[in-house]
């Protein structure tokens, strides 16, 4: 498995994102606007806040690999989950600041409202590394995440190759997150020419709060009813929304007959791919993401350049973007993916 996700590319609708040109996008030496926040003889204390533990990735992948790399680098980690609760996350940030953290690595529950948390941290002299969901209008030092527009385009391209005509549903994720909005934008980028020609009709298109399996199931149920079960493709925001879509399809005897994708390639999604109920699930190298976040924390803490491969504008400024690998996983490459990422995949041959 090899894929150069860092190639310079102009993405339709992705005006806020820019990948660096050059040979496979040479590393950007992006000096952050903070002096060294800790002495060389002092252990760096980093607060790590995950949005929830409901999705397997947060505890089993992102946090696990961050903590593993942090141990190698001699970083002290205070890790918490916000249980998808904005008020709890705000309280956790305040609590970590009182505990004297040097750096905050924040995955926002609500990226649209998290700029206030960033202001609170920076006012206390604590720089913030923005993880996974881009925080609008925030003075963060860098962003780590996949290119969600590109990811959506990869998924939608596979869908239209399989079904260039027919009724489509988009069961997107949590609207307050950049990943959900930009994944949907990637879908639309690919679908638009087909929509314009009338080859594809978008019969249902909505975001699902908190990435809810239940609301995604209800959305697909309603769309099936209104269209007499005439649906070719359901483009989903993540594996959780895909589970709901598949439940709705199975109830109508359409399991495996309608093209459905997931995102994150959770173990259950891998089983559904093997069973033929899910066409593919896009996987992000969460191990790389956790490791790079720990390295970025050390760089920020010591006043060194952050090694990034792109730039993203969050509405306030251009910031270094550590862009993470993503690729589609289907029956064709599930076994190879298990070999490449054995800590996550449990492929069945």
Give residue limits of the domains in the chain: 17-146+285-325, 148-277
Output the six-digit token pair for 77.
Answer: 């980690």
Contact of 309 with 322, CB cutoff 8 Å: yes
CB 81 within 8 Å of CB 308: no
* SS3 state at 219: helix
pLDDT bracket for residue 194 (50, 70, 90)? very high
| Region 152-163 average pLDDT | 98
Over residues 115-133, the mean pLDDT reads 97
Q: What is the pLDDT of residue 176?
A: 86
Q: Which of 344, 10, 8, 13 is nearest to 184 (CA)?
A: 13
Q: Is the pLDDT of residue 331 over 60?
A: yes
pLDDT of 348 strictly over 50: no
CATH of domain 17-146+285-325: 3.40.50.2300
pLDDT for 40 equals 55
Is the pLDDT at 17 greater than 60? The verdict is no
pLDDT at 37 over 70: no
pLDDT band at 27, cuts 50/70/90?
Answer: very low
In angstroms, the CA 329 to CA 155 distance is 10
pLDDT band, very low/low/confident/very high, at 42 (cuts 50, 70, 90): confident
Name the β-bridge partners of 234.
Answer: 169, 260
Q: Please state the rounded mean pLDDT for residues 316-327.
A: 96
Contact 347, 338 (CB under 8 A): yes
Q: What is the pTM of this model?
A: 0.81
Phi, psi of 270 (to 5 degrees): -60, -40
pLDDT value of position 18: 52
Which residue(s) pair with 77 in the sheet?
A: 46
The answer to whether the CB of 273 falls within 8 A of the CB of 281 is yes
- pLDDT for position 112: 85
Same fold, 17-146+285-325 and 148-277: yes
pLDDT at 30 exceeding the cut of 60: no
Residue 40 tokens read as 């060389």
Mean pLDDT on 107-129? 95
- Mean pLDDT of all residues belonging to the chain: 89
CATH superfamily of 148-277: Response regulator (3.40.50.2300)
Q: Tokens 């609008």 appear where?
A: 136
3-state secondary structure of 233: strand
Q: Which of 218, 229, 219 is closest to 252 using CA atoms?
A: 229
Burial of 3 (0-12, 13-18, 19+ CB in 10 A): exposed
Question: Are 9 and 310 contacting, i.e. CB atoms less than 8 angstroms apart?
Answer: no
Which among 7, 313, 328 is positioned nearest to 178, based on CA atoms?
313
* Cα(15)–Cα(1) distance, integer angstroms: 29
């Amino acid at each position: 498995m090899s894929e150069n996700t860092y190639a310079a590319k102009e993405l339709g609708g992705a005006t806020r994102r820019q990948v660096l040109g050059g040979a496979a996008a040479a590393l950007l030496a992006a000096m952050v606007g903070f002096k060294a926040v800790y002495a060389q003889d002092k252990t760096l204390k980093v607060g790590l806040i995950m949005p929830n533990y409901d999705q397997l990735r947060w505890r089993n992948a992102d946090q696990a690999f961050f903590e593993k790399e942090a141990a190698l680098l001699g970083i002290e980690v205070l890790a918490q989950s916000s249980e998808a609760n904005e008020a709890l996350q705000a309280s956790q940030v305040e609590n970590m600041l009182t505990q004297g953290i040097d750096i905050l690595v924040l995955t926002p529950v609500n990226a649209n409202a998290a700029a206030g948390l960033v202001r609170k941290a920076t006012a206390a002299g604590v720089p913030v590394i923005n993880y996974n969901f881009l925080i609008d209008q925030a003075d963060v030092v860098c962003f780590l995440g996949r290119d969600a527009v590109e990811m959506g385009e990869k998924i939608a391209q596979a869908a239209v190759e399989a079904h260039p005509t027919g009724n489509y549903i988009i069961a997107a994720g949590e609207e307050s997150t950049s990943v959900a909005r930009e994944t949907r934008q990637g879908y639309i980028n690919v679908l638009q020419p087909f929509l314009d020609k009338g080859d594809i009709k978008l019969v249902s298109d909505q975001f699902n709060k908190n990435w809810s399996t239940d609301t995604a199931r209800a959305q697909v149920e309603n769309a099936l009813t209104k269209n007499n079960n005439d649906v070719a493709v359901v483009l989903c925001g993540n594996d959780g929304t895909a589970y709901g879509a598949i439940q709705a399809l199975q109830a109508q005897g359409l399991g495996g007959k309608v093209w459905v994708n997931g995102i994150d390639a959770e173990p259950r999604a891998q089983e559904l791919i093997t069973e033929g109920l899910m066409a593919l699930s896009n996987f992000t190298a969460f191990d790389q993401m956790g490791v790079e976040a720990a390295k970025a924390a050390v760089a920020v803490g010591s006043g060194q350049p952050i090694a990034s491969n792109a730039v993203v504008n969050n509405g306030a400024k251009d910031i270094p973007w550590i862009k993470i690998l993503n690729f589609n996983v289907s029956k064709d490459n599930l076994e190879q993916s298990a070999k490449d990422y054995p800590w996550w995949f449990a492929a069945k041959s």
